[in-house]
């Protein structure tokens, strides 16, 4: 029983779901000054269910390639494919029911369209799009950004048109920007990890169709795009430190500098990588950078 539970948690990538909940909670708490009401937990539950279902259907379609790419294949071994399909349909059904309840409570019907569209596109991504050049990578990056932007849509339930755009909106857009390019970079690197199985499945993704040197160049450019605004933030913090020195500003500067250093180091590691274990370490580095980005939310809130 315990082994079944562990296998199921691995199947739905429980660690990724925890990270996703954390970013939504921190944004809701710090940007919108709310400790979390029942409506927020409905939003978090819907995100959890849809994302879990997405992981499940992706593994179902990837069974054959995963036998080559991964050391442990859960579906077909620990969990029967029929059981996996049951959980997939159950999670999506619960997500749809909760979506109707949420949009009724907050009177924000665009959210319902977003949830239904996400379920639909995740199925098509798993079935077809992930095998196409860059399309699958971009879809995953956009859906990750959408889970962040949904917090803003949810919190601004009126969706009123106003000439004034609050700092909350700019903060969300900045996080969406970083999330998109970091996720896209990581998805491309993950494709490089799974090249052997993807070739067997006649995949047309970037790792199979584009030379390794060009892929390294693309990912490096994506990370440089992330690095540039971070460096601008560092320059701004330096100016503040010069005129308004404080220990909090100094700690924030050190934190941002560390993230910049890790991005530069990741670019360096990408240039040196040529085998699966190397790309796995790069992928882990990018995930760690994302986690640091999540915790920057409370730091900027308290220190600025």
Q: What is the pLDDT of residues 89-146, one digit of tens each?
A: 999 999 999 999 998 888 888 889 999 999 999 988 887 766 676 788 888 899 999 8
Q: Which residues sit opposite 79 in a β-bridge?
A: 75
Q: Can you tell me the distance from the alpha carbon of 187 to that of 179, in angstroms, rounded to the nearest whole number? A: 12
pLDDT of residue 77: 83
DSSP 8-state code for residue 129: G
For residue 198, the model assigns a pLDDT of 64
Residue recorded with tokens 């250093």: 261
Q: How far is CA 129 from CA 118, 124, 151, 201, in A?
A: 14, 6, 26, 13
What distance in Å separates the CA atoms of residue 79 and residue 208, rounded to the nearest whole number? 30
Cα separation of 262 and 256, whole Å? 10
Contact 112, 100 (CB under 8 A): yes
- The SS3 of residue 35 is coil
- Name 258's Cβ contacts closer than 8 Å, sequence gap at least 6: 292
Residues, the chain = 304
Kindly state the tokens that stand for 157.
């339930």
Q: Phi, psi at residue 282, to the nearest 5°?
A: -65, -45
When computed from its CA atoms, the radius of gyration of the chain, rounded to whole angstroms, is: 20
Average pLDDT value over all residues in the chain: 85
- Per-residue confidence (pLDDT) for residue 79, from 0 to 100: 86
Tokens linked to 300: 């900027």
Cα–Cα distances in Å, from 104 out to 97, 108, 112, 261, 264? 11, 7, 10, 45, 46
Residues 6 or more apart whose CB falls under 8 angstroms from that of 235 comprise none
The per-residue pLDDT for 164 is 42
- Which pLDDT belongs to residue 156? 59
Residues 289, 293: Cα–Cα separation, whole Å: 6
Q: In the prediction, which pLDDT does 230 show?
A: 93
The CA distance from 69 to 9, in Å, is 20
The CA distance from 141 to 132, in Å, is 15
Task: Note the pLDDT tens digit of each residue in 86-95.
Answer: 999 999 999 9
Per-block mean pLDDT, blocks of 10 residues, the chain (304 long): 84 91 87 72 94 91 75 82 93 96 86 92 80 80 90 63 55 89 93 73 74 92 95 88 81 93 96 89 94 86 69
- Tokens 């296998």, residue? 7
Helix/strand/coil for 163: coil
User: What pLDDT is stored for residue 195 in this prediction?
Assistant: 76
CB 16 within 8 A of CB 54: no
**pTM of the entire structure?**
0.88
pLDDT of residue 181: 95
Q: What is the pLDDT of residue 168?
A: 67
The contacts of residue 254 (CB under 8 Å, 6+ apart) are none
How far are the Cα atoms of 39, 40, 45, 83, 120 from residue 103, in angstroms, in the given order? 9, 11, 14, 30, 19
Residue 199: the pLDDT is 65
Q: With b meaning 16 or more CB within 10 Å and e meaning fewer, what string describes 237-250?
A: beeeeeeeeeeebe
The structure tokens listed for 187 are 């998805």
CA distance 273 to 85: 37
What is the C-alpha to C-alpha distance for residues 279 and 134, in angstroms, rounded to an integer?
18
Spans of all domains in the chain: 2-303
């Amino acid at each position: 029983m315990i082994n079944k539970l562990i296998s199921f948690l691995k199947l739905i990538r429980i660690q990724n779901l925890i990270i996703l909940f954390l970013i939504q909670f921190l944004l809701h708490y710090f940007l919108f000054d709310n400790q979390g009401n029942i409506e927020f937990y409905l939003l978090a539950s819907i995100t959890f269910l849809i994302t879990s279902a997405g992981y499940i259907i992706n593994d179902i379609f990837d069974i054959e390639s995963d036998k080559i790419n991964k050391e442990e294949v859960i579906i077909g071994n620990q969990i029967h494919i029929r059981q996996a399909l049951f959980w997939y349909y159950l999670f999506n059904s619960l997500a749809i029911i909760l979506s109707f309840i949420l949009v009724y409570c907050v009177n924000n019907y665009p959210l319902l369209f977003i949830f239904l569209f996400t379920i639909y596109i995740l199925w098509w991504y798993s079935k077809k799009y992930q095998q196409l050049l860059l399309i699958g990578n971009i879809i995953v990056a956009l859906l990750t950004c959408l889970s962040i932007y949904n917090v803003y849509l949810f919190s601004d339930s009126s969706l009123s048109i106003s000439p004034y755009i609050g700092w909350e909106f700019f903060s969300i857009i900045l996080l969406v920007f970083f999330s998109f390019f970091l996720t896209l970079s990581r998805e491309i690197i993950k494709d490089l990890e799974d090249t052997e199985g993807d070739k067997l499945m006649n995949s047309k993704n970037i790792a199979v169709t584009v030379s390794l040197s060009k892929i390294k160049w693309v990912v490096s450019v994506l990370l440089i795009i992330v690095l540039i605004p971070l460096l601008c933030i560092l320059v701004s913090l330096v100016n503040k430190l010069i005129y308004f020195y404080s220990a909090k500003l100094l700690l924030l500067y050190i934190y941002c500098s560390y993230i910049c250093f890790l991005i530069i180091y990741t670019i360096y590691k990408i240039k040196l990588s040529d085998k699966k274990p190397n790309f796995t370490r790069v992928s882990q580095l990018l995930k760690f950078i994302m986690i640091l980005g999540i915790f920057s939310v409370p730091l900027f809130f308290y220190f600025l």
